Chain A
Amino acid sequence: GENVEQHPSTLSVQEGDSAVIKCTYSDSASNYFPWYKQELGKGPQLIIDIRSNVGEKKDQRIAVTLNKTAKHFSLHITETQPEDSAVYFCAALLSGGYQKVTFGIGTKLQVIP
């Protein structure tokens, strides 16, 4: 089955700096890669996603890149703000049948004011 590795597990940055979270996946058939942000006591919220036919996608301060050959994808947050502090999960989706989603273990991001 699919295996998604995510690192780092914790990340501290100064406000205004950039943060990068990286994930690798094992199944080359995976073709959809969402990223979720989870605040304390809440459920994960989708913040950005990318499909396998696209190499990069950007939404304001958030961007995701995908390297299909190397089977890795990354989340980039620029100009970090204290409200970016949360746990971020990457996921890989294998299409066909139901949505078999494999999640990374999460990265706890702390933005220091």
Chain B
Amino acid sequence: DGGITQSPKYLFRKEGQNVTLSCEQNLNHDAMYWYRQDPGQGLRLIYYSQIVNDFQKGDIAEGYSVSREKKESFPLTVTSAQKNPTAFYLCASSPRTDYSNQPQHFGDGTRLSIL
């Protein structure tokens, strides 16, 4: 089955620690996205990537970093600079979007908590 796999499902971070969330897709999608979801709020965009080796900041990029070395993979690092990292993190992907709108497909998320 094609889809998006996020791991781990639950992650705990200690003070001053960087942690990396994994996102892998086998849908052959060009674009990938990271969102943060907090209770009572919609999805907020952290970073996005339209092609390999290229990515752009979203609305709340401070304290986060990403890489896109492979089409299938778009890992997100939550750095120690992110002072309020407790949230549900969602990865999404979509086909190339130059000429038509296509829906984003989501993984099942990673819940990050502070120890």
Question: Would you call A42 and B104 a contact (CB within 8 A)?
Answer: no
0/1 string, A49-67, CB within 8 A of B gives 1:
1010000000000000000
- B74 proximal to A (CB < 8 A): no
Q: How far is the CB of B115 from chain A (nearest CB, A)?
A: 21
Question: Chain B residues with Cβ under 8 A from A101's Cβ?
Answer: 45, 104
Question: Would you call A43 and B106 a contact (CB within 8 A)?
Answer: yes
Knowing A43-B90, A98-B97 touch, does A103 contact B109 (C-beta < 8 A)?
A: no
**Interface set, chain B 82-108, CB cutoff 8 A to A:** 90, 92, 94, 97, 100-108
Question: Chain A residues with Cβ under 8 A from B33's Cβ?
Answer: 99
Knowing A98-B31, A99-B97 touch, does A105 contact B41 (C-beta < 8 A)?
A: yes
Question: Would you call A44 and B90 a contact (CB within 8 A)?
Answer: yes
Q: How many residues on chain A are close to B (CB under 8 Å)?
A: 26
Instruction: Give the docked Cα–Cα distance between A49 and B103 (Å).
Output: 8
Question: Would you call B48 and A98 a contact (CB within 8 A)?
Answer: yes
Question: Would you call A99 and B108 a contact (CB within 8 A)?
Answer: no
Q: How far is the CB of B45 from chain A (nearest CB, A)?
A: 8
Question: Chain B residues with Cβ under 8 A from A93's Cβ?
Answer: 101
Question: Would you call B101 and A105 a contact (CB within 8 A)?
Answer: no
- B40 proximal to A (CB < 8 A): yes
Question: Would you call B109 and A98 a contact (CB within 8 A)?
Answer: no
Q: Chain B residues in contact with chain A, CB under 8 A?
A: 4, 6, 31, 33, 40-43, 45, 48, 50, 56, 90, 92, 94, 97, 100-109, 111
Q: Chain A residues in contact with chain B, CB under 8 A?
A: 4, 6, 9, 31-32, 34, 36, 41-46, 49, 51, 89, 93, 95, 97-99, 101, 103-106
Query: What are 5 inter-chain pairs, A to B, with CB distance below 8 A?
Result: A32-B101, A42-B108, A46-B105, A49-B103, A98-B56
